[in-house]
Structure 1
Amino acid sequence: MIFFRLTLLATIFVSGTAFAQTREPFQSEPSGPLLRSNVAGSRQQAGLASEGISTGGILIQPSLTVKVESDSNVLNRATQKRGSVFVVVMPTVNAAGGTEQASYVVRAQAAVARFASITSQNSETFGIEANGRLAVAKKASVFTRVAFDKKIEPRGQAGESITEGSPAEYRQFEAQIAARAETGAMRLTASVTATKRDYADIKLENGQTEDQQFRASNVVSFALKSEYALPNGGILFAAGTYSKADSPNAPSCCDQSSKGGQAIAGIRTELSKLVSAEISAGYVTRDYISNIYKDFNGPVWQAKVDWYPTPLMSLSVASGRKIVNSGIPTVAGIVVDATSLQLFYEVRRNIDVVLTLARSDENYREIDTKAVATLVGVEGRYIINSRFTGGLFSRLRDRSSNNRLQLSGGSGFEAGLWLRASL
């Protein structure tokens, strides 16, 4: 669910220099947590989905979500924990239009968070994204994507800044162009992505500020992916990525500029009528310009298996290894092994329950520190009608390390409710 803001498996939006996160022009599988769209957890019930507003060939889907949450450890401390109730208001609007030959999607969203007792954590974020597709031949298309975001980093994830104070806020601009062509059972996709990210200063509780510009980055990535459709409906795929990341404002002590690449191969298929799987493995290299950081050369993998034991229940298990970027000046790449399990159950046609278990093992190699983060969560969603959806959730999280002087962390309990209105 979108409200699991501390889902530990998600490491795309990590702190520090962005690296090798090239996006697909479009997803081959349905969007959502499961590999199929006709099962519990991703099924859209007839008559209960928001239809939006259609005008002049454009479909507009606005919504407003209000969330009230209590967090027992807002700053994610191991000791001297501070809790607070807070409210988040999130307006969103999606607009889509076009023809079979050319189409576009524009998304805009914002979030305003206000804390009752720790007002230093108040924040305002927003983002806008535009995607376009143009068919240049019968089986060839060009894709473009432009996005601008102002975001904050959730606490308690790999790569976060260990400085206490206001949330770590960054602005990111990203542009991508890609081309895709099909011939027979083969599909090829090539893309170029440019990303620029800048961080705002962190305001400390004593009134001082801490400069975060050492984390600013300019990244250019080149990617090539080939897919082959098997006769049984599965897909074999292989992909390669090369990225170059520059740290334009880094002092000599903390230049996280790097270059490297990734090569992976895998398969996406149905093992049976009740089991779907996507498994890939490969090798990653990352070489840093500064000799204070450890280069990374090693295997990476991703495995996801979905089991649909009954029409009302789905089970998704995922595991993988990635290297993510760091907000700690003396650490560059963090090796993260993450595993998660999600159980989806349709209590009734309009009531869903989701149970989440997740664990992340983090290796901060430069400071000889390891950390373990865990999450247990449950959420219930109630679709009132096609315009209103609500839910209740609770989460228990914990983060510990073998070197608390270098890497802080603690446990916390979250609970809350949300209501979304859609047109």
Structure 2
Amino acid sequence: MKHFIRGLLMGCAAATALPTIAHAQIEASPLIPATLPDGFDKGRNVSVTERPRPDYDPLGVNLGSFMLFPKVETGVGLTSNVFLTNGNEESDGFAVFNPSVRARSEWDRHQVQLNASGAFRRFFDNSIRNEDAFNLGALGRLDIGDALAVTGEAQYTQQFETPITGDVDSSLAVLSQYERDFLSLRAQYGVGQGRLILAVDRSHFAFDPIRLPTGTVIDQENRDRTLSRVTAQAEYALTPSVSFYGQANYGDTNYDTQLSPGIANRDSDSYRFIVGSNFDLSALVRGTIGAGYARRNYDSALYKDVSGLSVEAKVEYFPTELTTFGLGLRRVIEDSNIGDTNAYFDNRATARVDHELLRNLILNAIAEYAQQDFISSTRKTTFYRGSAGARYFINRLLGLQLQLSYIKRDTTGDNLGQQFNEFRGQLTLVAQR
């Protein structure tokens, strides 16, 4: 541990000498994105991270009817357990380079957004852990009259799986890279106190082979799949601050190949019904709380159908203008590719606090608990993650960000991979325009 801390301090000193700058550790996104964006923000509260800072916010580049916001992040970091193993842990340092650019239309009606970003990580002693991730996205909104808006979105991403997963052994997840192409069309109609939303989307996932340090290659072609979803939501506002909604979702999952020759894959139909509330109470709290029922029916008799409680909640509390507390809860059904299991309930709870210590110094702390309960099995994984960090705005163009984190994984049952723990630290510099 002393070597890890000493190395982190040396890495931080080296990063401050770099001419360009950057962001802290990029949080891993879920494999399956949410069907609809958050709907609780009604403009009555502003979190610490959202608050405008006129002296430090980027001005962007004026391109006439568009604004362009370029950003480059560079930095260094250290991990105490580069391969997330339970024994013979090996520490390693890494360098990160994260360029991005975002374009936004400035029209009174309609909207177009374009974005491109990359996240490149290079490990000093274990090049097999190098990561090349990127995202290309476009979003367009067409306003039809005052009540109807139609939004189309397209994305193409290449990224690595998060180790906090039950989709695959976590020791393999850190080496698992995949591509996702995503298309979405969403219509929103609002009149009076009511709002209706109808969304359709399609995602295709293609997983690259995993190359282990031993030279072994694990093919993941049988994980490639297409997910098509239809979501309908009706919402009614009792007051300008509080509304209630009901949501219904249908999903169709089709795998590209059989699990193995002669063995059917996990093709399925899924249904989810949720009721809940959106609220945004001035100078107090805002959020979404929803709960309901989810079911997944598999095409093959090899796999047992799954059903149960589904929950999605996100709440932010504003005790003062300088502090924001956040709480997130999630329980959904996900496919598993571990052993002979077909699915698991993914249960997560996340707490976060952001505090503005100074106008240009923002502190944060995050705690997360995740548990995956595998269907018709005694297998279970439990994750604990904690992190703390700070972001310092030097001026409008430059900033520093430090993030320290710890993650621990416990398992019960067979064929679930190793238990592990990891300390990680990263210092980045951010240059923006």
Alignment-derived partner of residue 182 in structure 2: 174
After TM superposition, give the deviation of residue 307 of structure 1 in Å: 2.2
* Aligned counterpart, 1:106: 114
- Give the 5 Å matches for 1:229-378: 229-250=237-258, 251=260, 252-253=262-263, 255-270=265-280, 273-378=283-388
Per the normalisation by structure 1, the TM-score is 0.90
Following superposition, the deviation at residue 385 of structure 1 comes to 1.3
Equivalent positions of 1:11-410 (< 5 A) are 13-14=30-31, 18=32, 21-24=34-37, 27-30=38-41, 37-97=45-105, 99-162=107-170, 164=172, 167-250=175-258, 251=260, 252-253=262-263, 255-270=265-280, 273-403=283-413, 405-410=415-420
RMSD: 2.3
Q: Give deviations 1:291-317, integer Å, cap 9, x for gaps.
A: 333321111112333222222222222
Aligned partner letter, 1:13: P
- Residues in 2 aligned to 1:102 and 1:232: alpha-carbon distance in whole angstroms: 24
Aligned residues: 409
| Residue identity matched to 2:423 | F
Deviation, structure 1 residue 341: 1.2
Question: What is the alpha-carbon distance in structure 1 between the residues aligned to residue 241 and residue 170 of structure 2?
Answer: 47
Structure 1 residues 6, 132: closer, same or farther in 2, change over 3 A?
closer
Query: Matches of 1:4 and 1:36 in 2, distance apart?
Result: 30
For residue 423 of structure 2, what is the aligned residue in structure 1? 413
**What is the percent sequence identity of the aligned residues?**
21
User: In structure 1, the residue corresponding to 2:222 is in which secondary structure?
Assistant: helix
Structure 1 pair 228–340 and aligned structure 2 pair: CA distance change class (3 A): same
Contact 2:151 2:186 in 1 (8 A): yes
Instruction: Decide which moves more: 310-319 or 344-353.
Output: 310-319
Match of 2:15 in 1: none
Q: Map Cα deviations across residues 339-362 of structure 1 (whole Å, 9 max, x no partner).
A: 111111111011011011111111
After superposition, the Cα gap between the structure-2 partners of 1:272 and 1:182, relative to the gap in structure 1 and judged at 3 Å, is closer
The normalised TM-score by structure 2 is 0.88
The change in CA–CA distance for 1:152 and 1:50 in structure 2 (over 3 A counts) is: same
The range that moved more, 148-157 or 47-56, is: 148-157
**Residues 173, 196 of structure 1: 8 Å contact kept:** yes
Counterpart contact for 1:337–1:362, Cα < 8 Å:
yes
Q: In 1, Cα distance between the equivalents of 2:291 and 2:305?
A: 20
Secondary structure of 1:253's partner?
A: coil
Structure 1 residues 268 and 93: CA distance shift in structure 2, 3 A? same
Q: Distance in 2 between matches of 1:365 and 1:300?
A: 15
**Distance in 1 between residues matched to 2:367 and 2:208, nearest whole Å:** 33
Cα distance in 2 between the residues matched to 1:266 and 1:393:
34
139-148 vs 314-323, which moves further: 314-323
**Deviation for aligned residue 1:95:** 0.6
Mapped contact 1:235–1:268 kept (Cα < 8 A): yes
Structure 2 SS opposite 1:214: helix
C-alpha separation in 1, matches of 2:336 and 2:397:
41
Question: Which deviates more from structure 2 when the two are superposed, residues 163-172 or residues 347-356?
Answer: 163-172
Question: Match for 1:42: what amino acid?
Answer: E
Measured in 2, the distance between the counterparts of 1:55 and 1:235 equals 39
Distance 2:74 2:383 in 1: 28
